[in-house]
């Protein structure tokens, strides 16, 4: 009983399919081109369909955290117009922070120079202005989330002012220490000399304990004295929070955060270093990464095209097939355009992760090109174009079908992953793999027929001009005597001349696998080495070591996803999180 019944039937099917393409190659080239142009119009929706990268895209759809957040929103819905209590706020939307450190490595930040620079920075941040739809100027105090002034903070301020001095009832989310220094220095009723050099943190922390209203959480590298008062710190955090209850407020908050990031990118100070994280950091940095991926597509296409063309060329100007290699890469590019365009036309969204899909599809598509090319060069070079195409597709198309199905199933399984970003990437990958397979059996097959006809006709691979062969009479007159005498013993002069010219690349009976450098290496040098016992033992030992290393890696793999893993290596957000 034979178990290759499916393979044999597929081979016969593809052989008959190849025979049909040989007679009608142009429709298989023109039709995919028209489809690609038509579906490519969907790329015009790219900017509309793109959704910003947020942590929600990397949170499992069935995660318990999602249900808990929904319950919290139902039971304790936050209204930004109400006084803000940090213990009640369970989301981090439209909030962020600036971390201030000294410009001197490992230096304290609770000194007059650093505090003065931090106050100046925070004052500028509060004055950053954006415009709403009505062209009204909006600053941080206009859109900030406010919370009631803590009693401990009010007591601390009253220690520096006259008893009749009124203190604010509410304040924007910020660093209370910075606000305290700023309020004391600018208030006219202070009982102190308003010089920051004479105003020390100890004067405030004498009244406010380290645990009061979470002040210590806004300092990093804190050191305490014997009385649990703050004696020093290595970093200072300047937090903020913006109202976002309505769509208009959320849009203004987004503009303000982007302007804050732009300003901090250009900010320089001789006294302090700043790093920051905003709610828009992941989205903006991913967008920058996405634009970089787009710019890399053209160099990638050029590099793959050059590599494929080089690999499709041999010493013979007839058997070299540079246009076939270029057609294979173009086929993969057409599949990518068609897949993305189709999904965008269907209203499917796109995220930055999906932008890495083309690089994978290029490798899959080009790999199948080499499979078909290898099968073609393994056929009898003396056969007709029809026979060689039938042999090529009966041999290689089955392999391409199997590999494409493997890729398709792998990405299809990924579509069932609980992560929205992974689902989105796999949907685009599945569609692109499907188009890659279709275009390889249509567009690339048509290109293969045309280049195969050129090769069978003995035309130059670039100029398409027929290369004239030397006559047998000229060979008889110029052939070495010893070779000619040897040939007379076994063959006729004409048959020997034909065999001799075949080896010089003028005939059509010598298989490509016998004169291609890589094929010759694996057929002779490498295969001969495999017959040596020492070489076989070395391969087995290497493979066992590889399996052991892979097993160790699987056992010690770390599960989980950190926000800094989603950012580019040169991102300011990654430096902040680290």
pLDDT, block means (10 residues), the chain with 578 residues: 69 89 92 94 86 80 82 75 59 87 86 85 92 88 79 62 59 75 59 50 51 65 75 86 86 92 92 91 82 87 89 80 89 94 92 88 86 83 85 86 90 90 93 94 92 84 74 42 43 44 43 58 80 90 95 86 78 80
Contacts 24+ apart (CB under 8 A), 37-44: 39/337, 39/338, 39/341, 39/342, 39/345, 40/337, 40/338, 40/341, 41/341, 41/345, 42/340, 42/341, 42/342, 42/343, 42/344, 42/345, 43/337, 43/340, 43/341, 43/344
Under 8 Å CB-to-CB from 529, ≥6 apart: which residues? 535
What pLDDT is recorded for position 509? 42
pLDDT for position 515: 52
Whole-number pLDDT of residue 486: 44
Q: Is 100 left (phi over 0), alpha (psi -120 to 50) or beta?
A: beta
Rg of the chain (C-alpha set): 36
- In whole angstroms, give the CA distance from residue 422 to residue 426: 6
The pLDDT of residue 75: 78
Question: In the prediction, which pLDDT does 41 show?
Answer: 92
Q: What pLDDT is stored for residue 465 in this prediction?
A: 81
Burial of 32 (0-12, 13-18, 19+ CB in 10 A): buried
pLDDT for position 425: 92
Whether 400 contacts 371, CB under 8 Å? yes
- Predicted pLDDT of residue 12: 87
Instruction: Identify the three-state secondary structure at position 328.
Output: helix
5-23 vs 25-40: helix crossing angle, rounded to 10: 90
Domain locations in the chain? 5-52+289-468+513-523, 93-278, 472-506, 532-578
CATH code assigned to 5-52+289-468+513-523: 1.20.1640.10
Full-model pTM = 0.78
Q: Which residues make Cβ contacts (< 8 Å) with residue 253, sequence separation at least 6?
A: 94, 143, 242, 243, 244
């Amino acid at each position: 009983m034979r178990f290759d019944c499916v393979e044999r039937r597929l081979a016969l099917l593809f052989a008959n399919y190849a025979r049909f393409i040989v007679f009608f190659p142009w429709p298989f080239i023109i039709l995919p081109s028209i489809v690609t142009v038509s579906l490519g119009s969907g790329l015009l929706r790219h900017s509309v369909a793109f959704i910003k990268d947020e942590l929600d895209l990397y949170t499992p759809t069935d995660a318990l955290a999602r249900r808990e957040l929904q319950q919290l929103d139902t039971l304790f819905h936050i209204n930004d117009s109400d006084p803000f209590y940090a213990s009640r706020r369970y989301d981090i939307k439209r909030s962020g922070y600036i971390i201030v450190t000294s410009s001197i490595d490992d230096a304290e930040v609770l000194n007059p120079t650093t505090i003065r620079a931090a106050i100046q920075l925070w004052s500028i941040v509060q004055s950053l202005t954006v415009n709403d739809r009505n062209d009204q100027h909006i600053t941080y105090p206009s859109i900030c989330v406010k919370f009631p002034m803590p009693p401990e903070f009010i007591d601390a301020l009253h220690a520096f002012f006259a008893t009749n001095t009124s203190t604010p009832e509410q304040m924007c989310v910020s660093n209370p220490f910075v606000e305290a220094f700023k309020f004391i220095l600018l208030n006219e009723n202070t009982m102190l000399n308003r010089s920051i050099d004479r105003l020390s943190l100890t004067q405030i922390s004498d009244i406010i304990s380290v645990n009061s209203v979470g002040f210590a959480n806004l300092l990093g590298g804190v050191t305490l004295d014997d009385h649990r008062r703050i004696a020093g710190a290595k970093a200072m955090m300047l937090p903020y929070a913006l109202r976002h209850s309505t769509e208009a407020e959320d849009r203004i908050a987004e503009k303000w955060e982007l302007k804050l990031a732009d300003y901090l990118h250009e900010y320089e100070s001789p006294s302090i270093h700043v790093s920051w994280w905003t709610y828009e950091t992941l989205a903006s940095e991913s967008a920058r990464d996405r634009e970089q991926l787009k710019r890399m597509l053209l160099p990638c296409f050029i590099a793959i095209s050059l590599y494929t063309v080089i690999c499709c060329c041999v010493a013979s100007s007839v058997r070299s097939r540079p246009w076939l290699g270029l057609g294979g890469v173009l086929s993969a590019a057409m599949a990518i355009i068609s897949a993305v365009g189709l999904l965008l036309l269907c209203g499917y969204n796109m995220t930055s992760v999906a932008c890495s899909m083309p690089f994978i599809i290029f490798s899959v598509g080009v790999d199948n090109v080499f499979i078909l090319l290898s099968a073609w060069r393994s056929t009898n070079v003396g056969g007709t174009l029809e026979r060689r195409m039938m042999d090529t597709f009966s041999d290689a198309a089955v392999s391409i079908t199997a590999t494409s199905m493997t890729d398709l199933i792998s990405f299809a399984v990924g579509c069932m992953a609980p992560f929205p970003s992974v689902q989105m990437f796999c949907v685009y990958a599945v569609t692109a793999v499907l188009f890659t397979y279709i275009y390889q059996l249509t567009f690339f097959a048509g290109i293969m027929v045309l280049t195969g006809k050129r090769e069978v006709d003995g035309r130059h691979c670039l100029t398409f001009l027929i290369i004239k062969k030397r006559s047998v009479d000229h060979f008889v007159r110029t052939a070495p005597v010893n070779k000619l005498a040897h040939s007379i013993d076994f063959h006729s002069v004409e048959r020997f001349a034909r065999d001799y010219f075949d080896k010089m690349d003028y005939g059509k009976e010598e298989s490509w696998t016998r004169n291609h450098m890589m094929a010759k290496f694996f057929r002779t040098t490498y295969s001969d080495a495999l017959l040596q016992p020492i070489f076989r033992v070395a391969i087995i030992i290497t493979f066992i070591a590889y399996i052991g290393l892979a097993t160790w890696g699987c056992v010690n793999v770390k599960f989980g996803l950190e926000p800094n893993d989603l950012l580019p290596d040169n991102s300011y957000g990654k430096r902040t999180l680290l």
